[in-house]
């Protein structure tokens, strides 16, 4: 026992030495710690940042080098990772690391609590070595070895609560709209929350304003506006208490007596100019109340009594209901029709029914009960068939599975395939035969054998029935030998700008070059997404593209090195989520089944945001009058003028005085008219027209939503009152409740064409209402799965509409039983339905639409085989150009093959001069057919290889599409599996290219970008934009090419900013090279277009 105790203490001492790196001769130590600044405020905007620099000393760097690490602050929740992108210097034994910590990114704030002015951050450093060991340096280590004031980080914050210097109650004396204006001074980063409790004269709660906008309007004040229910609560109200909380959680609280004493606001009154509104509807009856336990849908009919014109809807996520709202007088009864599906693990459904018009909104509900549960009849797998028999270390591929499932339900909301990483989400759209009770599904997903195995039931199938019940079982196994990859990829980030400037730009682009290096081909796999994320102000995800290897984002690929160009953007429309100041950039990516998240930069980026404060309303007139009669006036005109920053857009918004419930029924409509801006006077003028249809009398309490510097800002009703402008529009209209408010369907019939696979609709609708019809939408409804429908809108009230089934977007096999419904949309947001159950009775054909008998093309074409014609796989280009011909065998079941997209690429070049791998797109069409037909044919494509070309080249298809627009994807691995011959070939030449091109110059003249070469010959030149868009350049002389300096860029249309590009060229021997935008910038060449 004594010897065991000695051994235990010996091992414990070794653990302590290695774990904390504090032995007499440590393997790793820290020297030269500096933090600047050492005081960091979280209460100052724009947010600042602290730069931390330290040196790691590794005495055994040759046998076990450092590969990275992470710095943690208090509670270890704030983690700042580092790798060689953060190295300032590295000579092997000594590595100097630089990290940036933005004030806005610190989650736990180093133990800095509300009311506490400062707190020192405890630092914990972990260093990762190549053999997997970790060296840890805790806060005691830093306090002992670096006691100086500049070698510690302290957070400071404001501790003074906000103050309220002004509080006003603003009303127009005519309506029940309350507007409250707050004048607030704060001493930190901003206001986080304003809450106001309002009571009536009897002490009842009238309104609790939580989460009042914490952003000031253009005049610097804060506002809260609400319609109070004076009919129920009375006309007299008072403020019970008010709280204002700043971003540091300092709180100002004012009670009723303080509000009255400081601001002389006691009781205040509101008016109402309307009577208590009539209840819109009552539920008369619905049947059946119990849903039988069947595998088919049950039709539930609902009878309502309408007391006034209104629109009636339901909001079930399980099925759709359609009401035939054909009342011509009130009260009147109408009927609704609901096709309710069965379930296995649910007892009842609450179906909410809503009715609304300009005056009132009302809600009621019915309860549907299920007769019994069949939980013993869970879904089961009957049969399966994979697209391959086994997987032998396959790279990324699209794997296909046909799975036959038996169940006792007629619909699955979601079908999950759950591998070890992530979840693959499918739906009933995957059904290819049968139905949900007994049907076959076709699942296709991207798979790489390095990520997980499909053998031995390691993947789970989960069938989710509206989240009320699901069955999970092991997915049928597929023999799998996983691909083993050595994860040795390194990632280097290069960039040129560190400031995102939104003061003078609608948005800003930050471009990157990303270079990956791997000896073991550990690169981003074809299914990888490369995202840019940011830590700091919000921790949100920035806008940016996905990076897929061998796509247009790839600039260079050769000998284990890949270079990609990418970017992220910030726009003014995102400012609601952002605060100005410092933030960090990081990188998330997947490589061969492993997920990584690494820092991008050793310094912080900075965000500059514009201000909206300072723009004022200087003019507002209403014509012909602030009071209009609908019998005399159909259009009201507004003349609105602002001074300050340009107002780019204007919405005229309003609160209606008619409110059945205590909520804000605010609506908005864009300004229809013209706007003008004078940059000298800073005047923006709007001329707007507002349509006033026939409607009941009411008052519109107006306010504006204005778009300034990329942000929507509210110009409140209270601001109009305070500035002396019109704050309301009074409409005197018809208060009759007998106005006809529904369209009339005079005729409707359907027919079908089994040869042309089309449905023809003939219809005639008239509109006796005073409202304008915006459109008539025909709904192709899946009656088996009633939450699924396809919409076809038209502005024609009568005529003929032909629906081609093969070309319906979203139409798939599981639309086996369909019906046509009609929804008529009116101006003002109302709509009226003609349920398909009613239309089936009206239609002489009773909507007999035999989809199962139609020749509908649900399946995409398939690649059966392809390869090189003949047996030759090595070709010589010494004597001249050659042509290599490929064959492609393609089948399609009904509509026929239309087009295929593929790539012709170089796997490697014989030389090692740094030539980039070449990737060229090609298209295969029916014109390339050599034998057979579009349903089963052989196609041919020839690829011309120029003289002096050397290397290995490969041909692959990426997508196949048929005439019905069905599409199927293929990866390089899929093509290798399908090719019975060779899909690659070798090209040799005894002579190198005698005229390799050399990039010389780039310049702009007369809105043209000119590109010249100092020597050699090129076959093509193009400009590759940061988003992958390619702009070909045309040859103007032997070594000079040109392209527009102001091209149209679809993905950035309508946005002004800098759009970086790279210049690429291909030699006559098919060797490709690119000069990146970073190299162009470094050498003072043009490197960006200005987008319009």
Per-residue model confidence (pLDDT) at position 118:
93
> Is residue 1 one of the residues assigned to a domain?
no
pLDDT of the residue at 250 = 95
The last residue of one of the domains, among 988, 1009, 1044, is 988
1026, pLDDT greater than 80: yes
pLDDT digits 0-9 by tens, 288-347 = 999 887 767 889 999 999 887 778 888 777 788 889 888 777 888 999 999 887 765 567
Indicate if 243 and 305 belong to the same structural domain: no
Residue 11 pLDDT > 50, yes or no? Answer: no
> In the prediction, which pLDDT does 527 show?
43
pLDDT band at 396 (very low <50, low <70, confident <90, very high): confident
Statement: residue 915 has pLDDT above 60: no
Whichever domain contains 692, its CATH number is 2.60.40.770
Read off the pLDDT band of 595 (50, 70, 90). low
Asked if residue 639 has pLDDT above 80, the reply is yes
pLDDT of residue 1023 exceeding 50: yes
Same domain, 322 and 204: no
pLDDT at 550 > cutoff 50: no
Whether residue 59 sits in one domain with residue 149: yes
pLDDT(431) > 80: yes
What is the model's pLDDT at position 742? 76
Computed over every residue of the chain, the mean pLDDT equals: 82
Return the pLDDT at 829: 62
On whether residue 739 sits in a domain, the answer given is no
Higher pLDDT: 982 or 262? It is: 262
State whether 1020 and 1058 are in the same domain.
yes
Above pLDDT 90, what percent of the chain? 38
Say if residue 314 is in the same domain as residue 365. yes
The pLDDT of residue 360: 64
* Mean pLDDT confidence for 822-840: 83
pLDDT band with cut points at 50, 70 and 90 for residue 82: confident
What CATH number does the domain containing 196 carry?
Answer: 2.60.40.1930
Tell me the C-alpha distance between 128 and 67, whole Å: 6
Q: Would the pLDDT of 658 be above 50?
A: no
**Would you say 957 and 970 are in contact if contact means Cβ atoms under 8 Å apart?**
yes
Tell me the average pLDDT across 867-885.
94
- Report the distance separating Cα 690 and Cα 1051, nearest Å: 34
Q: What is the CATH number of the domain that holds 582?
A: 2.60.40.10
Q: Is residue 26 predicted with pLDDT exceeding 60?
A: no
Structural domain that includes position 225: 164-269
Q: Kindly state whether residue 1058 falls inside one of the protein's structural domains.
A: yes
- According to DSSP, the residues that pair with 787 across neighbouring strands are none
Which residue, of 962, 988, 1014, is where some domain finishes? 988
What DSSP string runs through 626-678?
A: SEEETTT-SEEEEEEEEESS-EEEEEEEEEES--SSSS--EEEEE-EEEEEEE
| Contact indicator for 660, 362 with CB cutoff of 8 Å | yes
pLDDT in tens, 12-25: 333 333 344 433 34
Q: Are residues 128 and 82 in the same domain?
A: yes
Asked if residue 993 is part of any domain, the answer here is: no
Which of 649, 710, 645 shows the shortest CA–CA distance to 506?
710
Is 871 in the same domain as 960?
Answer: yes
Give the mean pLDDT of 227-244.
Answer: 89
Quick one: 446 and 463 in the same domain? yes
Per-residue pLDDT for 576 more than 60? Answer: no
Cα–Cα distances (Å) from 310 to 327, 630, 1092, in that order, read 10, 19, 46
pLDDT at residue 916 in the model? 64
pLDDT of residue 608: 85
- Which residue(s) pair with 819 in the sheet? 781
pLDDT at 1: 42
User: Could you tell me if 702 and 759 lie in one domain?
Assistant: no
Give the residue, 372 or 93, on which the prediction is more confident: 93
Local confidence band at 546 (pLDDT 50, 70, 90 cut-offs): very low
User: Percent helix, strand and coil across the chain, each rounded to 5?
Assistant: 10, 50, 40
Q: What would the pLDDT profile of 776-796 be if each residue is shown by its tens digit?
A: 999 999 887 767 788 999 999
Average pLDDT over residues 1030-1051: 87
Task: Please tell me the distance from the alpha carbon of residue 177 to that of residue 237, in angstroms, as a whole number.
Answer: 12
* pLDDT > 70? residue 1002: yes
Residue 977 and residue 870 share a domain: yes
Q: What is the pLDDT of residue 15?
A: 38
- Whether the pLDDT of residue 592 is over 70: the answer is no
**Residue 437's CB: how many other CB atoms inside 10 A?**
16
Within a domain: residue 835?
yes
Domain count, the chain: 9
- Does residue 118 fall inside a structural domain? yes
pTM of the model: 0.75
Domain boundary, last residue among 697, 732, 767: 732
Q: What is the pLDDT of residue 434?
A: 87
In which band, very low, low, confident or very high, does the pLDDT at 358 lie, cut at 50, 70 and 90?
low
Answer yes or no: is 375 within a domain: no
Going by pLDDT thresholds of 50, 70 and 90, the confidence category of residue 468 is very low
pLDDT recorded at residue 375: 52
Q: What does residue 1036 show for φ and ψ, rounded to 5 degrees?
A: -110, -25
d(CA 561, CA 557): 6
Enclosing H/E stretch for 839: helix 836-842
pLDDT band of residue 740 (cuts 50, 70, 90) is very low
Instruction: Give the CATH number of the domain where residue 62 resides.
Output: 2.60.40.650
What local confidence, expressed as pLDDT, does residue 75 receive? 66
Q: How far apart are CA 968 and CA 1024, in angstroms?
A: 27
Residue 109 clears pLDDT 60, i.e. is over it = yes
pLDDT of 796 reads 93
* Residue from 177, 159, 238 nearest 204 by CA: 238
Say how far residue 423 (Cα) sits from the centre of its chain.
Answer: 18
Q: Determine, yes or no, domain membership for 6.
A: no
Q: Which residue has the tokens 């809105």?
A: 1007
pLDDT tens digit string along 522-533?
666 544 454 555
Most confident of 3-7, 439-443, 825-829, 907-911: 439-443
Res. 248: pLDDT tops 70:
yes
Q: What is the three-class DSSP state of 932?
A: strand
DSSP string, 847-888: T---GGGS----S--EEEEEEESSS--EEE-SSS-EEEEEEE
Same domain assignment for residues 362 and 300: yes
**Tokens (6 digits) for 709:** 């510097």
| Per-residue pLDDT band at 447 (split at 50, 70, 90) | confident
Q: What is the mean pLDDT of residues 966-994?
A: 91
User: What CATH number should be reported for the domain holding residue 1065?
Assistant: 2.60.40
Q: Do 582 and 655 reside in the same domain of the chain?
A: no
pLDDT on residue 875: 95
The model's confidence at residue 5, banded by pLDDT at 50, 70 and 90, is very low
């Amino acid at each position: 026992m004594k010897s065991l105790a000695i051994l235990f203490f010996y091992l414990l001492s070794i653990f302590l030495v290695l774990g904390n790196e504090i032995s007499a001769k440590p393997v790793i130590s820290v020297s030269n710690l500096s933090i600047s600044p050492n005081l960091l405020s979280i209460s100052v905007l724009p947010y600042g940042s602290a730069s931390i620099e330290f040196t790691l000393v590794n005495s055994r760097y040759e046998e076990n080098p450092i590969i990275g690490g992470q710095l943690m602050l208090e509670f270890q929740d704030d983690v700042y990772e580092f790798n060689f992108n953060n190295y300032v210097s590295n000579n092997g034994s000594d590595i100097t690391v630089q990290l940036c910590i933005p004030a806005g990114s610190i989650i736990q704030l180093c133990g800095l609590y509300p009311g506490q002015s400062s707190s020192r951050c405890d630092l914990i450093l972990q260093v990762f070595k190549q053999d997997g060991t970790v060296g840890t340096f805790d806060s005691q280590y830093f306090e002992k070895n670096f006691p100086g004031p500049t070698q510690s980080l302290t957070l400071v914050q404001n501790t003074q609560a906000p103050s309220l210097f002004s509080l006003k109650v603003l009303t127009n004396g005519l309506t029940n709209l309350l507007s409250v204006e707050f004048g607030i001074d704060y001493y930190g980063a901003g206001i986080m929350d304003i809450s106001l409790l309002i009571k009536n004269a009897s002490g009842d709660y009238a309104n609790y304003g939580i989460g009042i906008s914490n952003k000031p309007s253009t005049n610097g004040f804060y506002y809260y506006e609400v319609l109070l229910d004076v009919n129920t609560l009375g006309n007299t109200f008072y403020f019970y208490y008010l709280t204002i909380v700043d971003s540091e959680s300092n709180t100002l609280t004012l009670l009723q007596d303080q509000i009255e004493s400081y601001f002389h606001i006691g009781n205040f009154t509101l008016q109402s100019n309307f009577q208590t509104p009539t209840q819109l509807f009552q539920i008369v009856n619905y049947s059946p109340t119990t849903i039988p336990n069947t595998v088919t849908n049950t039709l539930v009919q609902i009878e309502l009594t309408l007391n006034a014109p209104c629109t009636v809807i339901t909001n079930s996520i399980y099925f759709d209901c359609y009401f035939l709202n054909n009342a011509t007088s009130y009260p009147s009864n109408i009927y609704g029709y609901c096709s309710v599906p069965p379930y296995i693990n649910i007892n009842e459904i609450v179906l909410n029914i809503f009715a609304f018009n300009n005056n009132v909104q009302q809600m009621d509900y019915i309860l549907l009960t299920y007769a019994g549960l069949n939980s013993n009849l869970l879904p089961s797998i009957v049969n399966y068939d994979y697209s391959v028999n086994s997987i032998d270390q396959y790279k990324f591929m699209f794997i296909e599975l046909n799975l036959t499932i038996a169940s006792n339900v007629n619909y699955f909301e979601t079908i999950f395939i759950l591998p070890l990483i992530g979840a693959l989400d499918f739906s009933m759209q995957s059904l290819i035969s049968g139905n949900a009770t007994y049907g076959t599904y076709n699942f296709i997903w991207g798979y790489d054998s390095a990520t997980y195995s499909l053998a031995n039931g390691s993947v789970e199938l989960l069938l989710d029935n509206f989240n009320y019940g699901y069955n999970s079982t092991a997915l049928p196994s597929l023999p799998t030998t996983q691909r083993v990859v050595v994860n040795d990829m390194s990632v280097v980030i290069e960039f040129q700008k560190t400031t995102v400037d939104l003061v003078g730009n609608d948005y800003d682009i930050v471009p990157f070059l990303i270079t990956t290096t791997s000896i073991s081909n550990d690169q981003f796999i074809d299914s990888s997404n490369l995202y840019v994320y940011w830590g700091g102000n919000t921790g949100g995800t920035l806008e940016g593209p996905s990076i897929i290897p061998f796509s247009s984002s790839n600039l260079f690929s050769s000998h284990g090195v890949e270079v990609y160009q990418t970017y992220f953007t910030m726009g003014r429309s995102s400012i609601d989520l952002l605060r100005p100041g410092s933030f960090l950039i990081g990188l998330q990516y997947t490589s061969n089944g492993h997920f990584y998240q690494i820092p991008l930069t050793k310094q912080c980026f900075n965000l500059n945001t514009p201000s909206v404060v300072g723009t004022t309303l200087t003019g507002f007139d209403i014509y012909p009058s602030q009071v209009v009669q609908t019998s005399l006036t159909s259009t009201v005109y507004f003349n609105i003028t602002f001074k300050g920053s340009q107002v780019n857009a204007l919405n005229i918004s309003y609160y209606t005085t008619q409110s059945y419930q205590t909520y804000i029924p605010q609506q908005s409509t864009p300004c229809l008219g013209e706007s003008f801006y004078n940059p000298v006077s800073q005047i923006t003028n709007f001329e707007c027209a507002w349509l006033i249809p026939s409607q009941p009398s009411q008052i519109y309490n107006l306010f504006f939503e204005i778009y300034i510097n990329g942000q929507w800002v509210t110009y409140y009703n209270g601001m109009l009152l305070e500035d002396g402008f019109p704050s309301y529009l009074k409409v005197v209209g018809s208060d009759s409740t007998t106005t006809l408010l529904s369209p009339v369907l005079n005729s409707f019939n359907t027919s079908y064409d089994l040869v042309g696979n089309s449905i023809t609709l003939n219809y005639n609708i008239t509109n006796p209402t005073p409202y304008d019809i915006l459109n008539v939408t025909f709904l192709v409804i899946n009656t088996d799965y009633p939450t699924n429908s396809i919409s076809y809108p038209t502005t024609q009230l009568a005529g003929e509409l032909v629906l081609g089934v093969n070309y319906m977007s979203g139409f798939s096999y599981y639309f086996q039983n369909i019906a046509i419904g009609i929804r008529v949309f009116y101006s003002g947001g109302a709509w009226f339905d003609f349920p398909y159950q009613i239309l089936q009775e009206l239609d002489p054909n009773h909507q007999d639409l035999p989809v199962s008998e139609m020749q509908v093309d649900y399946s995409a074409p398939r690649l059966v085989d392809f390869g090189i014609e003949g047996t030759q796989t090595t070709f010589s280009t010494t004597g001249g150009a050659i042509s290599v011909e490929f064959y492609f065998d393609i089948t399609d079941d009904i509509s026929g093959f239309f087009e295929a997209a593929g790539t012709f690429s170089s796997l490697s070049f014989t030389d090692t001069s740094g030539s980039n791998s070449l990737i060229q797109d090609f298209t295969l069409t029916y014109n390339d057919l050599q034998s057979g037909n579009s349903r089963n044919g052989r196609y041919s494509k020839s690829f011309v290889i120029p003289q002096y070309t050397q290397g290995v080249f490969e041909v692959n298809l990426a997508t196949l599409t048929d005439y019905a627009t069905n599409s199927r994807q293929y990866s390089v691995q899929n093509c290798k599996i399908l090719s019975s011959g060779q899909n690659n070939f070798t090209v040799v030449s005894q002579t190198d290219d005698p005229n390799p091109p050399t990039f010389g110059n780039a310049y702009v003249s007369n809105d043209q970008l000119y590109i010249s070469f100092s020597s050699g010959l090129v076959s093509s030149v193009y400009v590759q934009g940061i988003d992958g868009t390619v702009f070909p350049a045309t040859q103007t002389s032997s070594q000079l090419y040109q392209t527009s300096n102001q091209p149209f860029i679809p993905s950035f249309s309508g946005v002004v900013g800098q759009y970086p590009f790279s210049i690429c060229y291909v030699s006559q021997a098919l060797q490709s090279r690119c000069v990146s935008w970073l190299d162009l910038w470094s050498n003072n060449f043009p490197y960006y277009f200005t987008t319009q």
